[in-house]
Structure 1
């Protein structure tokens, strides 16, 4: 533990009736920064970074002028959130995207893409399902930030799918994996903000989103070929969705939750490949895909899949507990635990004790970002040894240059996420979030029915489930405590709601429209997908509500 002497600042305790001794007035004032953020983003059409900065300035002003928080403490809250947004949140994201970039610069990613495209016995519908759902899930696990939509949309057009149909298909497919995207960074963020163990949140999410995963492949067949597609191909859609869902549940609850999408995508794809050895689809002539000429050798397929095998092995080793060996405990010795200078001791809980939220924690070796960097170094080493001139180039310099490009390309995203986390910390530590949550909890147990809608709204507007959790996770936790609902369930519901909000996010719609060469078609795409988003949100709301009651409480860990 790193300790720091409290600076000479006035102590501050958050008060949910700070404005006119009224909970309602205090909560409504606390909603203003969120309203500013959404209005700047949607109505004024300002970039996400500018919108977040505007909301942050608003939150700081309200914390000081409305809630009575000392200026120094409010600024220190923002700095703590900013640093947390950089380490570990964006460290994990940047490391994940760098890991993905290594497969691209080595030309092995092209072989992986062709491996997914080659499966399906020439049936365009099966290939579209596997590319959009399984390959898209794999990309969501590592790249995120719209890459799954952009890449898989281009792949679907390459096998013969019409432009808008390809865009709609990949948008719908990019739902179930989102909660565990970028090495489950939405869940890690929610855990860090609420103090709830991320493993506990992941276990609950793993009992919600798999139900979506079970049906999404069937829905994709319908989008590609209507009822005929379902009638002819439902067996393979059922097997793919079932195996993906079971793997998602198992990994989220019993393995490394950060690897949930990687394991689920590979398991679902493997199940489909095995099934196609014993079952042949009835493929009409108008649904035959365009087959690539050059066949892939088993060695090239193996090397294309190798990075994902390595990352699973590294994370599995980091979770290993066998005999007298406890690797997590060993890695956990190397960590930073810092009482935030000037904030700790001056930010006081209701019982007079220093607020635990003013302690910054960062695991150094056990951090998923560190494990991804180790995995990336191993991939660089193996690919360098297997380098084959211009066809499959790789060297330490290539890997280093890829890291530099990733940082450069991500600089705006890094700044945006760090600013959103600064906003979140100011709202949380000033009491704005607590006031809003306590006020919303007045609806009682029915709040569980509405809980996923907050995550849906946050992701629909920001395009990021991580940002949705940064904005609403603590609010969900507070509302749960006040309403007598399991806070972990509601934080998980916020994450799961964000999954289907991604479907209608303007950011995702723009990426899809651009990827298929139809810029300006966002409104058309929105009309085609909004119904699916609303139906899935309603299903999630009902599921969470029933999970909060004895009816389905047995589903929870």
Structure 2
């Protein structure tokens, strides 16, 4: 059976868009007003979306159910797989007792919660976003902050908001690479356009985080550190995105801001240490000291993780791993059974790239780390099972949310909302970030949002005389501020931060900040389109059908061998430096 998507079931763009928005409106109502648990809200929203797809958009029942199941499967792998492995890495660090050493080390740098949030949530989280993406940064940094003693709600909320700065260049630039493939605009041009928008947010986000935690006056007390953190990150993000391309900004900016802030704190300290009001006083550390070797050992799981994620993000290595283990499954009775509104069959393929998946890289890092921190394989197995049980409700939530995302995309519901925004004419540049925001809210991924809307963004911009790179870049930039309230991201942060069942509280914590930052991006994009057009990079459109040249497999084997050598040297360094 073949079925063609419907984008305007009522013959009225506005009315169709309003009906299409109902499942999203329900999610807002359920989480903000009703304070419903995340898995309950997501399951009901998915049911509403399926009913609208079937009874209003005319989607056959079997296709609607298959589409939902396809999304749920994608939610389990790779998304839930990443979250499980990331939390597992943190759990073995805690169970081994090594996280106590990390807490002591962080206290020697600073006991101040404001500065710890800048180092871990903003800078380290940005670095992890650049290497892994797809939920791992929020999962790891939220768990770390809770382990350090942060209020769980603030820990998870801060990590979600901090994650706005790096998302566009996450996973080695994947969101921008996809936007380029779909729109036909060169990757470098989109990278430059986004790199002339997001650094303004990146400069502002650290101050915003600290104000959110401690208030404006307490933020001013640490303004020098905030400026060092945000200024270094924003400067490096602008520099790398404009001159090196989309693959390295997060990695270089994250590392640069960590180093800059830690060096700065060697010479400057806040006058008063700030901690949460309801937080117990820190235990006395008199007589407690750790050698450099002990600190290095405690941090070794995260150092191994860093090396693994950098290696797993290298394209030749991915090609080697996929050459051996990639399984591609065309979804029966769904693959090419749905035609887009343009009449093109939509492929429905599930890719099980087990070895090259970011979650597997995190798991391997965990297994390598276990003997380094004194965890046996038997203990590790039990901790892994306990981690899966710990995350059972976030797993349900993420699977339901991705099922929701797939069915609203396949049925044409998402296109209805996009068409309504595209009909705003000369105001479209202002609303174009909203499309990216909407796409990320639905799918939880800036990459997916760019795959959905980049072509529409480019076409609409050209029709109103605006350079398409402005609106395609706006789709990328708008998406980053939708990440913090995506139900998928909320589920990840709640699972890692010990807030399972309190997803509504976390959503309420972040939602207003998402809208504030979205408005900022909308105003910046409007100014770029009409007032500061000199900011738009020069470029030539690519052929949309250009082929991506595969890297030689032999080069991949060489890189993989080098990665193994680096990991082996790191392993021996930790093992032989114990004291």
Trace 1:130-529 onto structure 2 (pairs within 5 A): 130-137=115-122, 138=124, 141=128, 148=141, 152=145, 155=148, 171=157, 174-178=160-164, 208-218=197-207, 224=214, 230=220, 233-246=222-235, 260=250, 267-277=256-266, 279-281=267-269, 283=271, 292-293=285-286, 294-320=288-314, 326-333=316-323, 334-350=325-341, 352-356=343-347, 358-383=348-373, 387=374, 394-444=375-425, 446-452=427-433, 467=444, 476-477=453-454, 479-481=456-458, 483-484=460-461, 485-486=468-469, 488-498=472-482
1: CA distance, partners of 2:66 / 2:512: 43
Does the aligned pair in 2 maintain the 1:33–1:59 contact within 8 Å? yes
> Is residue 2:537 matched to residue 1:554?
yes
Distance 1:214 1:450, change over 3 A: same
Q: Say whether the 8 Å CA contact 2:178–2:451 is kept in structure 1.
A: no
The offset of 1:12, in angstroms, is: 0.5
TM-score, structure 1 as length reference: 0.73
Are the structure 2 counterparts of residues 286 and 143 from structure 1 closer, same or farther at C-alpha, using a change threshold of 3 Å?
closer
Aligned-residue offset at 1:101: 1.9
Instruction: Assess, with a 3 A threshold, how the Cα gap between structure 1 residues 205 and 227 changes in structure 2: closer, same or farther.
Output: same
Residue of structure 2 in register with 1:129 after alignment: 114
Query: For the residues of structure 2 that align with 1:45 and 1:228, how far apart are their CA atoms?
Result: 31
Contact 2:312 2:356 survives alignment (8 Å): yes
| Residues 47-58 of structure 1: pairs in structure 2 closer than 5 A | 47-58=37-48
Native 8 Å contact 2:3 2:337 kept in 1:
yes
State how many pairs are aligned.
503
Instruction: Give the 3-state SS of the residue equivalent to 2:338 in structure 1.
Output: coil
- Quote how far apart the aligned CAs of 1:429 are: 0.9
Residue from 68, 77, 82 that aligns with 1:92:
82
Q: Which residue of 2 aligns with 1:6?
A: none
Mapped to 2, the partners of 1:441 and 1:217 lie a distance apart of: 33
Q: Per the alignment, do residues 488 and 95 of structure 1 end up closer, same or farther by CA in structure 2, a change over 3 Å counting?
A: farther
Q: CA deviation at 1:187?
A: 8.9
Instruction: Tell me whether 132-141 or 90-99 shows the greater mean CA deviation.
Output: 132-141
Q: How much does 1:450 deviate?
A: 3.5
Change in CA separation of 1:213 and 1:378 when aligned onto 2, cut-off 3 Å:
same
Cα distance 1:111–1:285, how it changes in 2: closer, same or farther (>3 A)? closer
Contact 2:101 2:290 in 1 (8 A): yes
- Tell me, in whole angstroms, the C-alpha distance in 2 between the residues paired with 1:130 and 1:241: 12
CA deviations 1:479-529 (Å, max 9, x no partner) are: 524522456424423432225658xx99999999999xxx9xx79x96xx9
Cα distance in 1 between the residues matched to 2:138 and 2:456: 29
Alignment CA distance shift 1:185-1:286 (3 Å): closer
Distance in 1 between the 2:273 and 2:326 partners?
60
**Unpaired runs of at least 5, structure 2:** 129-134, 276-280, 462-467, 541-579
Shift of 1:146: 7.5
Cα displacement (A) at 1:17: 2.9
Is this contact kept in 1: 2:432–2:457, CA < 8 A? no
SS in 1 for 2:27: helix
Q: Is the contact between residue 434 and residue 474 of structure 1 (CA under 8 Å) also seen in structure 2? A: no
Q: Quick one: structure 1 residues 72 and 313, their matched pair in 2 at CA, closer, same or farther if it must change by over 3 Å? A: same
Asked if residue 13 in structure 1 is aligned to residue 13 in structure 2, the reply is: no
C-alpha distance in 2, partners of 1:509/1:376?
Answer: 20
Per-residue deviation, residues 220-270 of structure 1 (Å, max 9, x unmatched): 66665855864x654433222233445666888969969947x75554333
Does structure 2 conserve the Cα–Cα contact (< 8 Å) formed by 1:81 and 1:421?
yes
RMSD: 4.7
Question: What is the distance in 1 between the residues matched to 2:528 and 2:352?
Answer: 33
SS for the counterpart of 1:175 is helix
Instruction: Kindly state the Cα deviation for residue 374 of structure 1 after the two structures are TM-superposed.
Output: 1.6
Give the distance between the partners of 2:27 and 2:48, measured in 1 at CA: 9
**1:17 and 1:26 in contact (8 A); partners too:** yes
The structure-2 alpha-carbon separation of the partners of 1:154 and 1:281, relative to structure 1 and needing over 3 Å to count, comes to: same
Deviation of the 1:428 alpha carbon: 0.9
CA distance in 2 between partners of 1:352 and 1:451 (Å): 25
Normalised to the residue count of structure 2, the TM-score between the two structures is 0.71
